[in-house]
Amino acid sequence: MNPVMLITGGTRGIGAAIARAASQAGYTVAITFETSDVAADKLVTEGSVDLAIRSDAGDEAAVVAAFAEVVETYGRVDALVNNAGIAGSYGTIDTVTGEMLERLWAVNISAPFLYAREAVRHMSTANGGRGGCIVNISSKAAVLGGSGEWVHYAASKGALESMTTGLAKEVAAVSIRVNAVRPGLIETDFNEHASPGRVERVRPMVPMQRSGTVEEVAAAVLWLCSDASSYTTGAFVDVSGGR
């Protein structure tokens, strides 16, 4: 049977690119989504996704149910990609509200923790599992800080990176590898959350003098899930053009 990859937030942008690349690489692909029915149906119809599950990343019961559905359907999960994430908003700290932070933490921090928990329970060789890999989609903002744009978003990705480092050490002995990818300025609709012209404004700050593509991010994810990176865990792969 083909290895099974579960991608959270897999209907658009980076998530959809990972799904397509994984399918081409021979994975059986399952994705979660919250509202993008049309995009999910398109990926299933084109053959890039085998199972699309509507699920709220901010709800623990929904996370547990989504992971269980993949295992029930295919009997296994070999790779988990924690891709689902939200910006919260675009603006300085005086625009941040408690309600915004609560949802941001739920989707960007709690959901990856919960999906990782379910993956470890399933994959751990100590529990009779086959081992596997977890790839967290962070952001270069975790390093740069997001000043003047989204410090709150950067902080959520910083928490995800701390989890990546600690969990990689915690589960290395039970045959699970945990790594992260840090996309930089990537051409996706994520930039629609920012002020108009953000891509053009930031591009000159990138040493390579261009924005990246979702396919370039997907390639890094697929490498981290492959046997080519079998001795790599607790690592961060920057896909940011040198910024």
Active site residues: 153
| Euclidean distance between CA atoms 27 and 21, whole angstroms | 9
- 227's CB contacts (< 8 A; 6+ apart) are none
Residue pair 34/54 in contact by the 8 Å Cβ criterion:
yes
| Euclidean distance between CA atoms 46 and 124, whole angstroms | 33
- 39's CB contacts (< 8 A; 6+ apart) are 11, 12, 16, 33
Nearest to 114 by CA among 28, 8, 224: 8
Nearest to 7 by CA among 25, 23, 29: 29
Angle at 238 (CA atoms; ends 160, 153), nearest 5 degrees: 40
89-121: b (≥16 Cβ within 10 Å) or e: bbbeeeebeeebeeebbbbbbbbbbbbbebbbe
Neighbouring CB atoms inside 10 A of 124's CB total: 18
Backbone angles phi, psi at 241, to 5 degrees: 65, 20
Residue in this structure with the two tokens 């959270």, named with its chain if needed: 8
